[in-house]
Chains A and B, each alone.
Chain A
Amino acid sequence: MSDTAIDRSRLTVSDEVAIQILGMNKWYGAFHVLRDINLTINKGERIVVCGPSGSGKSTLIRCINRLEEHQSGKIIVDGIELTNDLKHIDQVRSEVGMVFQHFNLFPHLTILENCTLAPIWVRKVPRKEAVETAMYYLEKVKIPEQANKYPGQLSGGQQQRVAIARSLCMRPNIMLFDEPTSALDPEMIKEVLDTMIQLAEEGMTMICVTHEMGFARQVANRVIFMDQGQVVEQNEPEAFFNNPRSDRTKLFLSQILGH
């Protein structure tokens, strides 16, 4: 859990819409994994998604950059609706960064190459400029000195910070995090959370699946609780943690905070 002081007054939410999900449903085969999801997320919001294992949290955020396809309803990201149109998908993907539980760095490329690959090949940024951007973000996540190493030579926490830097190099408007700290040892969790807090302070729109309730209290402006593929409850963090309304939420909170 992070104890870095954060100035909440600096966290502002605009009233422009970043992501809109309307009546969205998804099935894996016959299994109805997401049921009638309706969500509107404004620019600058920091959303924490929590819920029991298998409730569909990962699936939900993976639908937002079309790593998973939804079967009905609408997902509109930055004004672009996600359909089968590959152009729209690529457009959305280059504006939405994603950080995975297991980092998913490219092991055959150096840290620097990991960070410059997509800007050079997708955004067509000149190599020199891409390297400058990469070094800027690597400094931001506090590991510029590792730039020429390979991912296998870094600790888990360092790898996850590289993964964040790699996403940021595409200059995304929205960042998705799928349990970014749950594969990490406790002493490395803080360094990753600090990086995320820093991002939040800079006004990044963030959706974060996490079990770090300290982070949720501190950074989130909204907590979404999911169970069985549905959004069961959403509220501001204080209200959410202090007086949860649904029984499922109460049970969940007592399980993860109780012991």
Chain B
Amino acid sequence: MSGTHAHSAAFVRDAMLPQEPPPATSVGALGWLRQNLFSSWLNAILTVLSLALIGYVLAAILPWIFQSSWSAGSLAECRDQIKAAYGSEASGACWAVIRERWLQLIFGFYPSELYWRPILGFALALAGMAPVLFTGLPRKMLYLSLAAPFVVPWLLWGGTVWLPVSVALGFVLGYAAQRIVAPLAGGLLGAVVAGLLPVLWWFLLAGPFATLLHQIGPLGIEPVSSRNFGGFMLSITIGLTAIALSLPIGVLLALGRQSDLFILRAICVGFIELIRGVPLITLLFVASLLLNYFMPPGTNFDIILRVIIMVTLFASAYMAEVIRGGLAALPKGQYEAADALGLDYWKAQRLVVMPQALKISIPGIVSTFIGVFKDTTLVSIIGLLDPVGFSNSIRADVNWNGIVWELYGFIALMFFVFCFSMSRYSMYLERKLRTEHR
């Protein structure tokens, strides 16, 4: 029945309509297909074409992946096995190389009886990261996060236990300097002293101090030289350190770039532009070759440490620009409200500005992280045996000469797992913060 009267504007509904189910074509699997894949002729054609393309690619790749050999001792043996099993025309993957070398692809030449150390170190690093990444976890776990940066490198490289202690002491020194100098000579001088003192300590005294302690109380585990590091262990060591350090350094650089202090601003801008203007490869060559000329002869500045410093600087410069974008997106009113409430610069940054700016920058930050992690493969060029470098050395073996796709496929898969997890974490974080703030 109709409730409207054609000739008058006044209208009163005299019967309420009951709720009816939606038409079948708009719900369920059918509805989904219709809406997403066949909503128009063009859409339908594209769907069919894409399916055909995907099918074609899979038809080429899947047999290669599954008509494979897992047990051969060389590439030639692999090929024979596959021909015997699937006919003389068949070509398949030789996964045997992965089976034979996967431990090396993961640990490099790290002594196999000590594999527990990187494994434990990696677990500890994960446990240390967990409370930072997931705020729901018990806050007590943050002690792990504090300990991990000192314990994990010690587990990896071994040596005297006093070295990490001595390095940690540098932070204590910086903190003490800040507490003592700042009230006496003002915040700026306090910050400068607190920044310089630990650096001096690390470069000049930390080593001898650790040696001294070690002579008094020898306590340590078997040292492993950097030359034996390789595979994903090396990528993760470099990548994780650079990721963890680049965020705080990037924040400081971004703030420095916005500072009112001309000199500070000039230094930060100069640093950022210089590092961003140079390819990472160049920085790595500087790390591997040039630095040796500048160091006093006889000093042994670990190659991995040098690489980590360069990758960190590189990542920090990019991070600084990403965070600057987040800072620029904050309304001026936020700074003014923080000022008007009497929050000083650092408190305003920490409590008001950074939580918001970092939240805005999450996608960019995580992209930078992913980029840094993937860029660690560049160290193969200066002769470090990261997975890519290692795959070259596997290929140099007569048995595996000529093998390409299997190794790269495996490495790509591993990298994908890591990078995809980072990307998912970033989406989780964005979703969580969005619901929290809205």
Contacts and interface: CB of A to CB of B under 8 A. Distances in A.
Interface of A: 65, 67, 86, 90, 93-94, 96-98, 100, 102, 104-108, 117-118, 121-122, 150, 152-153, 166-167, 170
B432 interface: no
Nearest to A118: B341
A118 B338 CA distance: 8
Contacts of A153: 438
Contact of B340 (A86, A93, A102, A117): A93
B333 A118 contact: no
B342 interface: yes
B336 A170 contact: no
Contacts of A152: 437-438
Contacts of B355: 108
A153 B436 CA distance: 11
Given A106-B334, A121-B347, A150 B359 contact: no
B389 to A, nearest CB: 43
Given A100-B333, A104-B336, A107-B356, A93 B341 contact: yes
Nearest to B347: A121
Interface of B: 331, 333-334, 336-344, 347, 351-352, 355-356, 359, 433, 436-438
Contacts of A98: 337, 340
Nearest to B359: A108
B334 A121 contact: no
A117 B355 CA distance: 14
Contacts, number: 68
State the majority secondary structure of interface residues on B.
helix
A34 B246 CA distance: 45
9 contacts: A94-B341, A104-B334, A117-B343, A117-B351, A118-B341, A118-B343, A166-B341, A170-B341, A170-B342
B139 to A, nearest CB: 15
Nearest to B337: A104
Contact of B352 (A67, A100, A106, A122): A106
A150 B437 contact: yes
A150 B355 CA distance: 15
Contacts of B438: 150, 152-153
- Of B341, B351, B356, B438, chain A has the most CB atoms within 10 Å of the CB of B341
B254 to A, nearest CB: 18
A108 B356 contact: yes
Contacts of B356: 106-108
B333 A104 contact: yes
B437 A108 contact: yes
B344 A90 contact: yes
Contacts of A97: 340
B341 A117 contact: yes
B342 A118 contact: yes
A94 B342 contact: yes
Q: Which 5 A-B pairs have the closest CB atoms?
A: A104-B337, A94-B342, A118-B341, A104-B333, A93-B342
A108 B436 CA distance: 8
